[in-house]
A = this chain, B = another copy of it.
């Protein structure tokens, strides 16, 4: 945590600059070498982890706010963040279960319960995918820590953030076939083994090694090149690349499937 007085000011006066009742939370997935991770912010005062999040300035678009919030809470910049769902269950944050006394003591403010922050809030969910080996997150203004967690070793999260992770991962998986989400995780030219590994890891399930690439080619998502990569004696698999023109055109008019 950077500065208690900055945080105090945010808690007391934040609603003058930020819209009350609305927050943003970001599910940032990281892939590298058959592993899928997610970025979690730790909050000592709240006694747990949640997705990096924050509030929207009255002068910002949602996308701009999402980028600023992620940069502030994780030190990651220039992420391709994509909105996926807004969460608005009135019971999503159980304020009655928050230990206000402990929280107030931690922050050094006696009247936190009256803050604009302690009210019904809907949250706009964003997700992103990056190569976790290339980035080292750091905690930001409001969080105490920020670390990559293996996707199957996520601790129980605060509020409704378990549901957020579930929905974000579902969106990532369904959108994998019509947005070139995985493109930045692969070299410009890749083998079928390489793209097979990425898709298997992101989807969290085994894919038929012979049938899977056929579908990608059939759908026009990847193109076979007239080039091979030499990876050993008698081993020179063909190279492929994403057909980004096809993706882009499909996104304008509908899907890649027509």
Contact = CB atoms under 8 A, between A and B. Distances in A.
Interface of A: 19-22, 56, 58-62, 65, 83, 85-90, 120, 122, 124, 170, 173-174, 176-178, 199, 203-205, 207, 212, 215, 218-219, 251, 253-255, 257-258
Contact of A176 (B177, B203, B253, B255): B255
A190 to B, nearest CB: 18
A174 B171 CA distance: 13
A200 to B, nearest CB: 9
Nearest to A202: B254
Contacts of A85: 83
Given A90-B59, A218-B218, A205 B22 contact: no
Nearest to A123: B86
A-B pairs with lowest CB-CB distance, top 9:
A62-B88, A173-B254, A86-B86, A203-B254, A61-B89, A86-B124, A177-B257, A21-B21, A19-B21
Contact of A124 (B88, B120, B174, B178): B88
Nearest to A206: B258
Contacts of A19: 21, 120, 122
Q: From A62, A173, A258, name the one whose CB has the most chain B CB atoms within 10 angstroms.
A: A258
Contact of A58 (B120, B203, B205, B207): B120
Contact of A257 (B219, B253, B254, B258): B219
Contact of A258 (B59, B205, B253, B254): B205
A174 B60 CA distance: 28
A62 B124 CA distance: 12
Given A61-B90, A62-B88, A86-B86, A215 B257 contact: yes
A116 to B, nearest CB: 11
Contact of A62 (B86, B176, B207, B215): B86
Nearest to A200: B258
Contacts of A87: 62
6 contacts: A56-B88, A58-B120, A62-B89, A170-B251, A173-B253, A176-B254
